Amino acid sequence: MVNSADSSESSISSRTAYKVVFFLGLVSLFGDIVYEGARGLIPSFFLYLGASATIVGIVTGLGELVGYTGRLAGGFLADLSKRYWLFIFIGYGLIAALPSMPLSLVAGGWLLAAILIIAERFGKGFRAPARDAIIASVSSKIGRGKAFGIHEFFDQLGAVTGPLLVAGIMAYTQENYAVSFGVLFIPYLILMCVLTLTYFSIRDIEAKSSKKYTIKGPMTRPLAMYITGVFLNSLGLIPASLILYKAGLIAKGYEWLVPAVYALIQLIDAPSALAAGFVYDKIGLSVLFVPFFLSIVISPVLFSENTLAIVFAASILYGIVLGMIESTYRAAIADLAPPKYRGTAYGVFYTALGLGSLLSGAIYGLMMDLKFGVGQVLVYVVIIEALALALLASAIKNLKEFSK
């Protein structure tokens, strides 16, 4: 039997656990202000630099791939070296690449901008598993779902603030990209100061390893089933980028509605993450049936009509699912993975989630281009999500047997 909370975890007080989650939440808040704000500018900035839509798609897609696969390497190396804080500092430090984007106006053009984007995504791969492993190491004292839900709430505050901040600066400066990107150095400097303060406040907290195991590796049967189920779930879930794409097709002449849709998703995401985290602590993995079932509904709704009302409805549903992905999906890893291998487990989890999302974007994008009907979309998503639900149910069943 795997004991998910070893003696080192039980020695941590609830007050210390809340302190860790609060400080790392602040770090994520300022980090999101910087990189979510910058990501809101990137497509139009590339157009300004003369790049085609194909180049924009390739660069952003490659960036996401690097970010997600980098989490696998980052998680493994963090577990191997036990230098979790080093990986966190390197990862957040590389966020500086995004406020540096105006350098591409001087030399390098969109190619330099692409390198900077990929550098930041590489940093994301390094910081996320190490940070999550530390949160997981204290979360048993206050509840897995609550810990990750609180952290995700801070994260989403930054995700909403960043794009709104950049939009205001762009409007005030009459679309001055150099100033709009450059201003993001202010929250970046605050981020690094908060991260340093966090380290000195809680540096004794590490993602400690248990000394007693009856398994030889990170992948138990319930964990493998769960991660495979998450991969299929993300494969059937239409990505936010295509919801925004459809909004852009409908809102011709009112393009400001597109970021409004994005803001709506983020605003729904934050309370969804927090509420789902509390429910997770009450009923456990069974709460994950909710986002898995909701994932079946979103794409048929979006494909049903070409109206803004449908786009807003799909956005609300997507925001609920996104909040649960970023809180309860992550919390489940803490309960399913042995403490010794949590960094690696989070890396595998994020890689599966990323690969599913990339394939989902390609499949649903092709469906949009070929003008698939609701019935065709429904057949696809029901088959994929039914398999995902079966794996989730099997993971829960096997976990109960595995824990006996």
DSSP codes of every residue in 297-343: HHHHHHHH-SSHHHHHHHHHHHHHHHHHIIIIIHHHHHHHS-GGGHH
Position 67 in a domain = yes
Nearest to 202 by CA among 138, 121, 260, 159: 138
Provide the residue type at 275 as one letter.
A
Residue 211 lies in a domain: no
C-alpha distances (whole Å) from 179 to each of 102, 113, 216 are: 8, 16, 53
Structure tokens given for 161: 């603030």
- Output the average pLDDT for the chain: 81
Using pLDDT thresholds of 50, 70 and 90, give the confidence band for residue 173. confident
Q: Residue type for 79, please?
A: D
**Residue listed under structure tokens 């007080």:** 13
Q: What tokens does 45 get?
A: 């900035």
Say how far apart CA 277 and CA 396 lie, in whole Å.
17
The model's confidence at residue 61, banded by pLDDT at 50, 70 and 90, is low
Band (390; pLDDT cuts 50, 70, 90): very high
**214-227 confidence digits (pLDDT tens):** 434 556 788 889 99
Contact of 340 with 213, CB cutoff 8 Å:
yes
Lowest mean pLDDT across 78-82, 128-132, 191-195, 249-253: 249-253
Containing structural domain, residue 172: 7-206
**Do 172 and 233 belong to one domain?**
no
Same domain, 222 and 201: no
Give which of 14, 328, 28 is closest to 140, Cα–Cα: 14
Query: Is residue 2 assigned to a domain?
Result: no
Would you state the pLDDT for residue 56? 64
Instruction: Report yes or no on 169 lying in a domain.
Output: yes
Q: Which of 150, 176, 206 is the last residue of a domain?
A: 206
Same domain, 96 and 244: no
Q: Tell me what pLDDT residue 182 has.
A: 93
Structure-block tokens of residue 342? 């949590």
Tokens of 320: 């609920």
Contacts of 63 (CB under 8 A, 6+ apart): 117, 118, 120, 121
Q: Which residue has the higher pLDDT, 2 or 6?
A: 6
List the one residue out of 35, 34, 39, 2 whose CA is nearest residue 222: 2
User: Both 227 and 176 in a single domain?
Assistant: no
The number of residues in the chain equals 404
227 & 168 share domain: no
Whether residues 250 and 226 fall in one domain: yes
99 found inside a domain: yes
Burial class (CB in 10 A: 0-12, 13-18, 19+), 203: exposed
Q: Is the pLDDT of residue 43 over 60?
A: yes
Q: Verify that 90 and 201 share a domain, yes or no.
A: yes
Domain-embedded: residue 296: yes
- Do both 78 and 121 map to the same domain? yes
Higher pLDDT, 213 or 138: 138
Determine the Cα angle at 180 with ends 96 and 161, to 5°.
80
Three-class secondary structure of residue 255 per DSSP: coil
Statement to judge: residues 318 and 198 lie in one domain: no
In a domain, 1, yes or no: no
Q: What pLDDT does residue 214 have? A: 40
pTM of the model: 0.71
Q: If you average pLDDT over each of 50-64, 85-99, 125-139, which comes out highest?
A: 85-99
Q: pLDDT tier at 52 (50, 70, 90 boundaries)?
A: low
Q: How is residue 55 written in tokens?
A: 């180049």
* pLDDT score at 6: 47
Scored b (16 or more CB within 10 A) or e, 352-383 reads: bbbbbbbebbebbbebbeeebeeeebbebbee
Q: Is residue 304 part of a domain?
A: yes
Query: How far is the C-alpha of 320 from the C-alpha of 17, rounded, in Å?
Result: 26
The CATH code of the domain that includes 334 is: 1.20.1250.20
Q: CA-CA distance, 14 to 128, in Å (whole number)?
A: 23
Terminal CA-CA length for the chain: 7
Does 157 share its domain with 288? no
What is the rounded average pLDDT of the residues 329-350? 79
Cβ(36)–Cβ(263) below 8 Å: no
- What is the pLDDT confidence band of residue 230, given thresholds at 50, 70 and 90? very high
Q: Could you say which of 206, 230, 253 is where a domain stops? A: 206
Question: Do 224 and 339 share a domain, yes or no?
Answer: yes
Residues 50 and 190 in one domain: yes
Give the total number of structural domains in the chain.
2
Q: In this structure, what token pair is assigned to residue 228?
A: 């495979």
Range of weakest confidence among 154-168, 194-208, 280-294, 362-376 = 194-208
| pLDDT range class, residue 79, cuts 50, 70, 90 | confident
Angle at 370 (CA atoms; ends 368, 374), nearest 5 degrees? 60
Q: How far apart are CA 130 and CA 152, in angstroms?
A: 16
Average confidence (pLDDT) over 231-239: 90
Which helix (H) or strand (E) segment holds residue 199: the answer is helix 185-202
